[in-house]
Amino acid sequence: MAGRGWVVLALLGVVQLLRLPLAAPQSFIGINYGDVADNLPPPSSTARLLQSTTISKVRLYGTDPAVVSAFAGTGISLLLGATNGDIANLASSPAAAAAWVAAHIPASSPAVSTVSVGNEVLFADASLASQLVPAMQNLYNALPPNSSIKVSTVHAMDVLASSDPPSSGAFKPELDTALDPVLAFLSKTGSPFLINPYPYFAYLSDPRPETLAFCLFQPNAGRPDAGSGLTYTNMFDAMVDAVRAALDAKGYKDVEIVVAETGWPHKGDPDEAGATAENAHAFVSGLVSHLRSLAGTPRVPGKSVDTYIFAVYDEDLKPGKGSERYFGLFQTSLTEAYPTGLVRNGTAALGPAMAPAQAPTSVQPAPALPKPGQQPQVGVTLQ
């Protein structure tokens, strides 16, 4: 009987471990909190919403005091953004960087894990490239003694000259002058390489059914990489490993990768066939399951890459294609836009009890997901 008792206890322990991902925050799952919109709930409501999920970290694109303070005491850490417009000032003098740190880094809570100096700087404004590392170095030097905060900058996948197959991953040679000092800084300070891989855009460039399945973590034949002998079953791993190969080729095997943005739009323009609620649900839920499996990537197995999913809400004021405005995982009524697998114990987030600051005159129920292969009808709004 004693032996059976130990077996029962062991089985109960396994059950608890299997249940843990549904209830406990996961250190490797984060979310982007964009604010290019005029209908968002108050930051305090958003902080409470995210506490109802297993998300453990939030990336901000700035340092709005109301947003930062809303996360105090939540246990959610922040990746803060020094904007591209801040770079010249941060690079100008150590005093300017010290003033930025004093003004924007909380003394205790919420915890700040990383500061990103700029976003996709090498492509957004090439004139800032020479000032990027001086800005990063000044800001790093201005952090409190023994601080664990990392300092980095976010890159687009366009920094790669080659990514297919993943083992051929290499940075564009014309970026060497700007990128090599960044990589040296990251290695010296133990900071991560922040990258924005979007399988959605890979699908747009190759809109075949088999590519869609590969991008959405759905069953597929797999794609062998002859250079490494590895086989890939999803585009996310392939993109991350292409970056890993590029870093390794430069001699920076010690620099970790953090996915600063990835996501899938649930609506778009008529010519954006892949932007549907069905596909967004498949991608996000598939990504979350993949990260929780701790399988890692074929090149770096056994460890999930820290990943920030884009984004908390739709952003109705963003310019560009329609899909740019529909990456939100949650509606402004504080319910899921579609099932994500992120809400604790399968609950339905917070619901409309916490209304947005500028609530609509009536709250429409969330639409049903389209059937497989069905596109949303024209005129139907997926919130």
Which residues are catalytically annotated? 120, 261
> The tokens 């990943």 sit on which residue?
307
Report the candidate in 313, 326, 319, 277 with the shortest Cα–Cα distance to residue 32.
313
Q: How far apart are CA 357 and CA 63, in angstroms?
A: 20
Q: How far apart are CA 193 and CA 244, in angstroms?
A: 10
Residue 141's contacts (CB-CB under 8 Å, 6 or more residues apart) are 94, 97
Instruction: Identify whether the C-beta of residue 233 lies closer than 8 Å to the C-beta of residue 216.
Output: no
3-state secondary structure string across 2-36: HHHHHHHHHHHHHHHHHHHHHHCCEEEEEEEECCC
Q: Using DSSP, state whether 161 is helix, strand or coil.
A: strand
DSSP H or E stretch at residue 63: none
Q: How far apart are CA 97 and CA 141, in angstroms?
A: 8
> The tokens 């991350």 sit on which residue?
240
DSSP-assigned letters across all residues of 233-270: S-HHHHHHHHHHHHHHHTT-TTSPEEEEEE---S---T
Q: How far apart are CA 299 and CA 142, in angstroms?
A: 36
